[in-house]
Structure 1
């Protein structure tokens, strides 16, 4: 199932509503006890970038859900490249079932976990997805908060006339994906302004070793095959 840009924007607004009502509302008093007058702004971005940031001048947490991210998570072939899908499968969130609904609900929880991580003083430069972050994210799922967000988002989308697909998306066939790549292929990985690029210099069992080119020259990366995208020569 696909979704058009206007539908994706509307669904992003529903993700914002879900984040505010289900995740922020019960945590607000605790957050403001740690940092008085702190607020949350959720917004829909026009690109793919999805992130949490804090503006100390305004004392405002900001969560952005990228419209292109929402479109991508409606496309089974694109799902493998998202961290949210790997987290669901590897950490058994939502019983390990990857669906578009689960991906979007989990994305709300993932970004909100970054907010709680920041408030707890456990987000460090170069160490964002650390053990503190995953302890918070695990608690959001084990406490029922993630399931509440999932159900709330599903109901909002249904009433808005844009129900979110909830059919299981199969795990990618790693061997088939590996067969696509050979030494010398020009590839990109990452998203938006954070996309990196390079040339494959070694094909491993589940990853490829990539030597950076352009702005990434001089660096080497070991990249999971599901994250690679072909670049024109």
Structure 2
């Protein structure tokens, strides 16, 4: 899938979040904080997150294009929290697919909005019991399924591929065994491909110090996104 298609999928995630998650909830949110609004945007990188600006009372949800790309393949999708939540909490019958992962990502980020609105997001305690109570409710109420259906239907109408074929999770332990401190690696794609050296092997990720034009920047990279850096010949 090319970058333009990925960006269009991100735009669909934005519109579905606005129409199927924000619209039913906005009056309740505004009862707590009058004048609250939501802006959704597509980011050029991997970062996918919710942010709230108390000054203008605006929530912002960003869906990263590289996140969308990663959730199209089991090798790169398994390292994301959304995949673990689907499997462990039984969302969408516990089935991993690109459609399920992207629909659940919309719900995950919107749950952070509701968590923030309810005053239940705390420093050092973001994915807490309050957050999962909200996320569970989005799935149990049918909001998550409505989001999934809308995303699938609108992608089909626009001629965008959004696979719903089930795939199995990849065992990250076997992948981690390939890497050790000192290995040089590449990650990312296209013009945004980065290079670095592994300084720590974690439970599901590797901590990488950038080299070359990325020198001075440290990254925490899901193991599925790493490939060996081939020395130039």
Q: Would you say same fold, with TM above 0.5?
A: yes
Contact 1:89-1:98 within 8 A present in 2 as well: yes
- Alignment partner, residue 49 of structure 1: 47
Q: Structure 1: any 5+ residue segments left out of the alignment?
A: 218-222
- Alignment partner, residue 100 of structure 2: 102
Matched, 1:64 2:49: no
- Alignment partner, residue 79 of structure 1: 77
Q: Deviations over 1:15-57 (max 9, x none)?
A: 1111011101110110010100111111111111111111122
Under a length normalisation based on structure 1, what TM-score does the superposition of the two structures give?
0.81
- CA distance in structure 2 between the aligned counterparts of 1:209 and 1:67, rounded to whole angstroms: 20
- CA distance in structure 2 between the aligned counterparts of 1:168 and 1:225, rounded to whole angstroms: 21
After superposition, the CA RMSD in angstroms is 3.1
Aligned structure 1 segments of 4 or more residues deviating by more than 6 angstroms: 208-217
- Alignment partner, residue 131 of structure 1: 129
- CA distance in structure 2 between the aligned counterparts of 1:45 and 1:83, rounded to whole angstroms: 19
Shift of the alpha carbon at 1:90? 1.3
User: How has the CA–CA distance of structure 1 residues 57 and 230 changed in structure 2, closer, same or farther, with 3 Å as cutoff?
Assistant: same
- Alignment partner, residue 199 of structure 1: 199
Equivalent of 2:120 in 119, 122, 142: 122
Contact 1:122-1:133 within 8 A present in 2 as well: yes
Q: Structure 2: any 5+ residue segments left out of the alignment?
A: 211-215
Contact 2:186-2:226 within 8 A present in 1 as well: yes
Q: How does 1:181-220 map to 2 (within 5 A)?
A: 181-182=179-180, 185=183, 198-200=198-200, 207=203
- CA distance in structure 2 between the aligned counterparts of 1:113 and 1:188, rounded to whole angstroms: 33
Shift of the alpha carbon at 1:181? 3.1
